[in-house]
Amino acid sequence: MSNTTCPRVSFNFEHRFLPPVLVLVFIIGLVANGWGLKSLLLNWKKLGNVNVFVLNLGLADILYLLTLPFLVVYYFMESKWIFGDAFCKITRFCFNMNLYGSIGFLTCISMYRYLAIVHPMRVHGRVTVTHSVWISVLVWLLVSVQSLPDIFYTKTFVNKPGKCYDTTHKSHVEDYLKYSFGRTLTGFCIPFLITLGCYGHVMVVLCRRNTTDKVLKQRSLRLLFILILLFSVCYIPYHVFRNLNLWARVLIEQKMCRQWFNGVFVAHQISRGLVCLNSALSPLVYLHGNDDILAQLGQIVQRARQMFGRLSLSNSGRVPVAQTAEEL
């Protein structure tokens, strides 16, 4: 179907959906990453070289979380950016650094786990903290090179408060679609295939080795579940619908209309909310191999259950006042 005019896409959905999601991610993400990083640093000597990547993963999350209050204000004001063009580009750049940095460090973690389980004798004593640090620097450099072109695209209207595009203005959307495809390939598809290959081989090896430590199997399965959760919930939908939405915008500029335009826009906004959850869900990586954090979580849950149990008994009048005071 081709028409001279296209039906107007409703933008109200993003103003209702994104602000509460961003507020929730900001609160949970700061608490989870702060707690996880603190525990990681306190137990650094007991943990392996892979924790250099976990540390960088947490720093990437915090880098993005600090920009969320400004985005919340932006969407509450119905997409009116009041913080200037430069800060708009910085905010979007931090998002890209977080997104592709997280994917990069998760890929490194997967490769390290693969080497430690499938080729333990070959890498024993050869992989040091220094190697992990240099690989982390390389990841940051590659992600910066991938994300840097984004800041040269138009993000705001000139000389007046307006939109802060997560992509670019409609006049440059066709070029941006090509850039987005390239970044999706190098920043997401290739790391995703590497991660799948590493953990596919790891699970085959663990299933074949009857003598493999059960704790190692459990930790590997937990990390595999976390990676599946992050990729299937946060990363895959975002990249699919971002490129579909850009394609729809290109077709609109060419006066070609499709019935699915509005549906793709709504799905893209949902995927933007889901990809932000990356900063709240990636701290789960701290849990997969840190028994101290798991023990702390268990204690917190147990104390919460005891507290609510005491409150419910006290409210029902079945707990004597003297007993309650003694317990407290």
Q: Is residue 311 part of a domain?
A: no
Question: What pTM, to 2 d.p., does this model score?
Answer: 0.83
Closest to 79 in 3D by CA, of 172, 167, 9, 165: 165
Report whether pLDDT(146) > 90: yes
Q: Which residue has the higher pLDDT, 270 or 305?
A: 270
Q: Is residue 182 part of a domain?
A: yes
What domain range includes position 58? 12-293
Q: Is residue 309 part of a domain?
A: no
**Residue type for 137, please?**
V
Lookup result for tokens 């990437």: 60
Q: Is residue 101 part of a domain?
A: yes
Q: Is residue 261 part of a domain?
A: yes
Q: Give residue 218's pLDDT.
A: 72
Q: Are 60 and 102 in contact (CB under 8 A)?
A: yes
State the Cα–Cα distance between residues 326 and 246, nearest whole angstrom: 65
Q: Is residue 327 part of a domain?
A: no
Report whether pLDDT(90) > 90: yes
Tens-digit pLDDT profile for residues 281-295: 888 887 665 555 555
Q: Are 152 and 172 in contact (CB under 8 A)?
A: no
Q: Give residue 115's pLDDT.
A: 85
Tens-digit pLDDT profile for residues 225-266: 888 888 989 999 999 999 999 999 999 888 888 888 888 988
Lowest mean pLDDT among 114-123, 147-156, 165-174: 114-123
User: Which CATH number fits the domain that encloses residue 209?
Assistant: 1.20.1070.10
84: left (phi over 0), alpha (psi -120 to 50) or beta: left
Q: Is residue 7 part of a domain?
A: no
Q: Is residue 308 part of a domain?
A: no
Q: How many domains does the chain have?
A: 1
State the Cα–Cα distance between residues 223 and 110, nearest whole angstrom: 9
State the Cα–Cα distance between residues 134 and 311, nearest whole angstrom: 53
Q: Which residue has the higher pLDDT, 78 or 248?
A: 248
Closest to 251 in 3D by CA, of 264, 267, 240, 238: 264
Residue 153 burial class via C-beta count within 10 angstroms: exposed 0-12, middle 13-18, buried 19 and up? middle
Q: Distance from CA of residue 7 to its chain's centroid? A: 33
Q: Give residue 10's pLDDT.
A: 67
Contact partners, residue 169, CB within 8 Å, separation at least 6:
153, 154, 155
